[in-house]
Structure formats: C-alpha cells, structure tokens
Structure 1
Amino acid sequence: MSHRRIAIHDVLRYSNDGDATSPELDGYPNYHFLTSSFEAGLPRLLLDAGINAPALTVAPDGQRRAVIGIRSSPWKAGHATNPWHDEFDLDHGYVRYFGDHKPNSPGLPGTTTGNRTLFEALASHASPDPALRRLAPPLLLFRSITVRREGRTLVKGHIEFCGVAVIDRLENIIQRDPETQRGFPNIALDLAVISLADSGDTLDLRWIDDRRNPALTGDEAMRHAPASWRRWVAEGPPALPRVRRRVHAPRLRAREQQLPSPASADAELLQKIYRFFDARKHAFEMLASQIAADALGGQGGTYREGWLTRAGGDGGLDFVGRLDIGAPGTSAPLVVLGQAKCVAPDSSVNADQVARVVARLRRGWVGVYVTTGWFTRQAQVEIIDDEYPIVLIPGIDVVKHVRALAERTSNGDVDVVLARAVETYSDSVTHRRPEEILIR
C-alpha cells in the first residue's frame, strides 16, 4: 500500500472488531485498514483508550516508541469518566489535552498508564539532543465525532483525524470531580500541531510503518516523515513557532463560525452565561474584562486588568486594561479599551455598535469587544477595511475563554467563575481616565 494517507479533518470508521481487510466501512475510510502496516507480527494500532501506545520498537540506534495515539471524546466531557474538556484549535496548531488520571485513580498523576507514557515522551520531546528527538514518538490526534448514517445519529464508532503533534508543555493541575466536587490531581498538556502543508495537509502513514520497523534506524525511519517533523528534530523546541500548523483563512467569520454548534455542550454553556448575566448585565463587564485578559495575555505580551467604568456614562467603554509588548524593561505599554455586550446568542452586534469603541481609540490604543452574540459581516468589513486595532470576541470564543478561566482558577467549575464576576464587580468600578493605566 503506497498511498495510505489521511487528511486533517478526515472522518474515519473505527470498528470494535478491528477489521483491517476493507479500505472502507459503512461509507467511511477504515481506520484499521489505513493504520495496518501489512507487516507480519505487528499488532494493530488501537484507539480504545484516550492515550494509546504500541510496544517499544528495538531499533539499531536504540529503543523508540513508534507513535502515541490520542483520542479525545467530546461527548464524554463533564462526565465522571472524563471530567475535563480538551480544547482543539487546529487552525492555529494548538491543542490543550488532559491526561487520564481520574478522581478514583490511586497515586500521583504519573502512575496511570497513559500519563506515564506522556511523561516518558516529554523527556525526548523537550530534549536539546537531536539524537533523542529522533527517537521521540509523534502524537497522532483523533477526536470522536457524531455522524448521521442511515437516518440515525451515531455518537460512537467514528473519529476525526486532527493531525500530528509535539508536546510543547506539560503541567500538573488540580481538577474537580463533578460527582463529589472534590479536587484531584492530573496533568494538562499544550500540544503543538505541526504543519503538513508540504504533503497537502495529509499524513503519509508509511512513516508510522517505518517507525515500527526494527530494522530501520531513526534517520532511515524519517524518509516519509513530514518536513516540519524533520525540521523540529533538527532544530528542537525553538523551531515550534515555524513548524506549527496555521490555516490562512479569510478574516471574515460567518455567524456559524462565531457561535457553538447547536445542541452542543458549548451551546448550553453559552446560554447559561447569557441567562446568568441577563438580569445583571453590568456584572458581565467583569467577566468580559477577564476574558480579554485571557485572550490577550500570554501571546507575546503581558496583560494587566485595570478597572470597570461606571454604568450609564461609558460612551462605548466598559473596561480598561493594559497590554505590555516586549521583554520586561524594554516593553511598550498599550491602553486597552473594552466593550461588553451580554445579549441572546442569536443576536448580532452591528457596525454602529462596534464604531462606538473605535471612536474612543487613540493612537497606540487597542480595542476589545466581547459579546455572547455574534458580529455582523459589515461590522467585520469596516474593521478590516479601515484597519482598526480592535479584537472581536464572539460567543464561541467567550465559551472557550470561560472554560480556560475555570480550569486555571477554580478546578474547572464554571459556576465559580460566573459567581466571582458578580462578587468582584462593585469593587472594580471606578471613574478614571483610560491613560492612567499607563502609570500603574
């Protein structure tokens, strides 16, 4: 089989019986057929667990783990068996993935089979030695997906290919058990999804075959590897910004791209946020300020939250912040002006509403508009055409940042994040000129 390739976003059929004889099953490419090496004696590459790894391959230049298969199951998110929410942003080459330590798992997070495998992989992924990186296992990412087949909605049995990843960062965290509300330890990984642009956004599975072949050295096993992987092996972690997957999509986002999929867990959370703040819209400004901090911080700059403006006289301004770009001591501070709009998720924000924020901006200032709704095409066109420095954060991004805030500050409990925004609102309101943020 010389043309066994899978493209990012391909939906594959994953059957429990492991049939590898047919290229297709039920109208979908057959995962077991595609990943079978057709070499005698090699076991199947399974994805029955969240973290899956074949046995070590003993090669002439040392032992290597050929691959690690990662399977995320969004439909289980929030359940006792999966009390976390993995985050996939494939257009920007980023995945936030949580390990397999569960509330009832004994010992420390590194004792479970999957987490132990990831800890072992981290040693080679983070190594400054190219020889060790050459042995490092690529992470093949998949997520379970719901499909319609023969008039039925099927939650299980189908997976979407999400690319090849390198471990960028691993941290120990505390998560909340949704049943007992008690905290338990786990790990969270920031994964860099690498570019497959040189092969048309597809992965040549002969690369994985070669990595499983004990007769091949690490160098020989890279003959079918993506160019971005070979560059990462040669240059190490500093190469990640240059090999990370990026999709150059149109800057205009349709309504469907700004809101979560209907009936999804994210859509339910967005409705929950809207209902929570609908009768206390001013308190939503506090949450919007925190969302802006999460969106702008950590992207090459340092964000400092400032204050909220008084209700009724903001003139297109709800909160003030500061963004410092550059290294400490040589950074350039920017004033950030924010507007918050808590509306029903099916409501739009038009160009005139966005223009109120634009009108307040001065040279070197940045605007942020946070809403539980979505932005009209005209609002986006005017920002792009006039090159206004303003960041638009619609409902789908509100959900993403609220989940991130919950994981980072309250063991994943979204209710705590929402309640804290109400509790801290009054103390954050003041009447000051925006430029005063620069002298803090």
Structure 2
Amino acid sequence: MITNTLPCTPRFIRFPFSSSFAEAGWVSRALPVICLEGSLVRLHVMSDNERTITFEDLPAADLIVDARYLGGTAGTIRDDPIARLLDVGNQGGFRYKGSPRQGTVKLAVLYTSRAETDWPDALDVQTGVLTYYGDNRTPGRDLHDTQRGGNLLLRDVFSAAHGTAADRQNVPPFLLFEKAAPGRAVRFRGLLAPGASTLSSDDELAAIWRSREGHRFQNYRARFTVLDVPSVPRSWLRAVLAGAPTTTSDCPPAWKNWVDSRAYSALVAPSTMVVRSRTQQLPAETTERSILEAIHRYFSRWPQGFEECAVAVWRMIAPSTGRCDVTRPSRDGGRDAVGQYLLGPLADRVVIDFALEAKCYGPSNSIGVREVSRLISRLRHRHFGVFVTLSYFNAQVYDEVRSDGHPIALICGRDVVDALREHGYGTVDEVQAWLEKMFPGPGQ
C-alpha cells in the first residue's frame, strides 16, 4: 500500500484512477484511491488483489481470510467495524457475546494492533499458530481478575479443549482480527481453535511473569491454531450468536472436526522466496528503535561483547541450540561463534553444526555482500550459518543468499527486538538491565 497526504475537506470519498495521479507520483498502477476524513486527507492506494468490504456491507458479509473490513467515517466509536460485523462490543482485545464469568460466551473475537511492545502478539503463517497474550497487562490485579474477564475466558476454554467432545461443544469459536489501514479498518486473519497439535498443554496456555516499575504480575500467553477455513459463512455466525450449537449446519468442517476429535487442520502458508526490504528489517516504533540504539551504544567500545550478545539472541530465536562457543578474535576465521543445533528425541539427538557471525552495526549501516560472503566461504558441508546484526541486509545480498539457496539465517534489527520482547525485555530499561547482567564489560 502506498500512502500520501494533502489538505482536504473532511469526508470519505473514493477516487477513480487517473493517469494524472501516476504522473504526480501518487500511485504506480491503476488502483483505487481512498480519501479519509481529517484535516489532512490520506490517499490510500490498495493493491488490486486485496479484498475490501465497505462499512455499509459489513452486517451481511462473510469473514474472508486476509480481507479488509473498513470502518465508518462519523468520527465516533460507532465507526468500529468489528461491532458492525458482529454483536461483540467495540473496545478491547477480548470481545465476545455472552459473559466469561457466567460461562455463557457464544462467540469471541481476539483483536490485536501488534503495537504493544511488552505483549508481542504474533501469527506464524507458516505453521498456522497464533501467540496471543491475555488481558492482565499491568500490575495490581490477580491473573484472572481483569476488567473484561479475558484471562478467565482463556482458562476455561483451554481446559474444555482438553476435555471430551461435549466439553468442546461449549468452547466458543474465536475470530482473529488485526489492525489495518485506513483509520479503524481491520483485517480478518482466521477462525481459531485453542491449542495446537504440536504443543503440550503447558505450552498452549502458560502463566508468565512480568514486572513493571518493580511490581511483578502474571499474564497468560495463549496459543491458538488458525483453522483451514478460507471463509466463515455469515449464516453460521448468525446461528451461533443466536445460541445454536457451534456444530450446527453451515459449520466449517475444520471446526466440527476439532470439536468432535480435537483434530487440528491448520491453515498453513509456506512462504515463497523472502527478500525483506530495509523497512521490514528495521523496527518502526520509537521504543523499538531506542532498544537497538541502547544495544549499539553498550557495545560501541567493546565490540567483542556483541558476539556473546548475538549468541544469546540466537538462543532466544532457536531454543534447541546446544553448545555454542565464541571464538577468539585472532582465530575466528570469519566466524564469531561455532555451535550445534539439536534435533530429534532427547534420548537420540541429531547434531547439526553451525557458524555464527555478528556485526554491531547501527541502523544506517547495512550488511553487504562482502560481510556475508565471508561467512558463506567458511561453511562446511551440511553446516548452516547464522548472521546477526542490529542493522539490515541490503537487497543485493538478501536476494543472492535466498536465490542461491545458502542455508543462512539472517537476523536483522527487527528480529533482535522481537526476540527480546518475546522474552520479557520490551523497554530500554529492561534491555539495559539485561545487558549489564549478562554481558558485564571488561573491568566490571
């Protein structure tokens, strides 16, 4: 999506495509443009393969995976598209029809803006597994004593998910929406079932500890499976909201199979060749950028220390990493660390060797062909490589690594921040304390 702004009278309009827009640099191809309300109007250029449902059409619309549902233009809370789509309320991450405290929830919506650094909700489209955090996100309350009862709902549905088919009949369907553009628009990401076939019950729902300003508290980390349901029919949603069993007619087959036998048919989308842009490799939020700046500043006079930090970050991303040794600067042979990745059952591990290289570059200094070629040239047969940086990989080296099939994990600045956030280090102060504890500098 391409955006631009210009002064305009507040209103919502749709412009037909004109070559004059392209000539002026507004758009690059024949796509619809939307002008939004506000003292500045933002023109949104939508890709021609993106399905968009207008605010007026929401009450009768089916839920189509990855389709965008537009909000209203009145400038009030009534512009919320989820409330117009479904009778589940118009605020919060947990929205539902019924009461969690009375056990009468018929349908539930999980909404994420993916903007809370302490609570990094994430959907892995290659496995179909969603990680979603509960609603006890500040200290001062018990784990289940939240205003909207979201954690209470999580506790009950995950318990029922491991019960009988009759128990799962009482589990409400969960629908995942995430923030989109423009304005209040949302994107539908799928129909969810609690848990996943590849996870233990402890991994599916875990109470994790966090701290804020010295106060400790617990919140849930829940994992759901996005079911292989391309479109959720409106007729089924109406029936469920009216109190019908979730396995009533028009029920998606994947949902019925889960209720009947706890069989997960996940919507998986293996990626094509991925070449992330500079924007995709660097964090956009101020707090996230400040985290990278803090790490860069910490190791600016002690670059060797960043090698150990890179290993720690890699362990966060790849927890099955076994032994990993940082090499001496004079003998590293182009590798800052060498290690082993462990596969298979605990009683009979398969070991794959890897080499890791780390560069403590700032965000304006990219990793190029020369740096990555150094690592590639030293990879042995059946080994893989890991390259960790606080910056980004330029387009040429990214394309060459992926096109040539080099087995190298490219860990950029955004990946570093995401890994830290997932492990409870979501602010500059928390990251600074982690650095000082884990990597005390020379003489400390």
Letter in 1 for 2:283: P
In 1, are the aligned partners of 2:305 and 2:439 still within 8 Å (CA)? yes
Question: Of 193, 209, 214, which aligns to 1:174?
Answer: 209
Structure 1 residue 56: deviation in Å?
6.2
Match of 1:390 among 408, 414, 417: 408
Matches of residues 355-374 of structure 1 in structure 2 within 5 Å? 355-374=373-392
Return the alpha-carbon distance in structure 2 between the equivalents of residues 330 and 250 of structure 1: 33
What displacement does 1:173 show?
Answer: 1.3
**Alignment-derived partner of residue 364 in structure 2:** 346
The answer on whether the counterparts of 2:169 and 2:245 sit within 8 Å (CA) in structure 1 is no
Residue 425 of structure 1, CA deviation:
8.9
> 1:326 offset after TM fit, Å?
0.8
**Structure 1 segment 28-427 matched on structure 2, within 5 A:** 30-35=81-86, 44-55=87-98, 65-75=105-115, 77=116, 84-92=118-126, 93-106=128-141, 108-112=142-146, 113-127=149-163, 129-144=164-179, 147=182, 157-168=184-195, 169-177=204-212, 180-196=213-229, 199=230, 202-214=231-243, 216-221=244-249, 223-225=250-252, 227-236=253-262, 239-240=263-264, 242-261=265-284, 263-297=285-319, 302-406=320-424, 413-423=430-440
C-alpha distance in 2, partners of 1:99/1:50?
A: 9
1:4 corresponding residue in structure 2:
62
Structure 1 letter corresponding to 2:111: R
Change in Cα spacing, 1:276 to 1:34, as seen in structure 2 (3 Å) is same
Q: Deviations over 1:377-405 (max 9, x none)?
A: 33233333443222111121111112123
1:12·1:31 contact (CA, 8 Å) conserved in 2? Answer: no
Shift in alpha-carbon separation, 1:3–1:11, aligned structure 2, 3 A: closer
After TM superposition, the structure 1 stretch with the greater mean CA deviation from structure 2, 245-254 or 167-176, is: 245-254
Tell me: CA distance 1:34–1:170, structure 2 relative to 1, closer, same or farther (3 Å).
same
**Change beyond 3 A, Cα 1:189–1:426:** farther
Q: Is the 8 A contact 1:403 1:414 kept in 2?
A: no
Q: Displacement of 1:256 after TM fit?
A: 2.4
Offset from partner CA, 1:142-162 (integer Å, 9 cap, x none): 344575xxxxxx6xx454434
The alignment's TM-score, normalised by the length of structure 1, stands at 0.74
Amino acid at match of 1:281: P
The alignment-based identity, stated in percent, is: 22
Secondary structure in structure 1 of the residue aligned to 2:329: coil
Flag structure 1 segments of 5+ consecutive residues without an equivalent: 20-24, 36-43, 58-62, 79-83, 148-153, 428-440
Report the alpha carbon displacement of residue 74 of structure 1 after superposing the two structures with TM. 4.6
Secondary structure at the counterpart of residue 299 of structure 2: helix
| 1:425–1:338 CA distance, 2 compared to 1 (3 A) | farther
Which residue identity is paired with 2:259?
V
1:338-387, CA deviations, whole angstroms, 9 ceiling, x for partnerless residues?
A: 11111112322122311211222222222111111222333233333443
Q: 1:220 to 1:95 in 2, by over 3 A?
A: closer
Higher relative contact order (CA 8 A, sep 6+): 1
Helix, strand or coil: the match of 1:111?
coil
SS at match of 1:117: helix
Q: Which has the higher helix share?
A: 1
Distance 1:74 1:282 in 2: 33
Query: Which secondary structure does the structure 2 equivalent of 1:68 belong to?
Result: strand
Length-normalised TM-score, structure 2: 0.73
Cα contact 2:121–2:133 (8 A) shared by 1: no
Match of 2:21?
A: none
Q: Quote the RMSD (CA, aligned, Å).
A: 3.3
Instruction: Give the aligned residue type for 1:13.
Output: G
Equivalent pair of 1:259/1:374 in contact (CA under 8 Å): yes
CA distance in 1, matches of 2:289, 2:261: 41
- 1:89 aligned counterpart, secondary structure: strand
| Paired residue total | 372
How far residue 55 of structure 1 moved from its aligned partner, in angstroms, is 1.2
Q: Supply the distance in 2 between the matched residues of 1:321 and 1:334 (Cα, whole angstroms).
A: 8
Q: CA deviation at 1:321?
A: 2.1
Contact 1:303 1:324 in 2 (8 A): yes
Mark the runs of 5 or more structure 2 residues left unpaired by the alignment.
1-58, 196-203
* Letter aligned with residue 220 of structure 1: T
Distance 1:424 1:325 in 2: 34
Equivalent residues of 1:405, 1:417 under 8 A apart: no
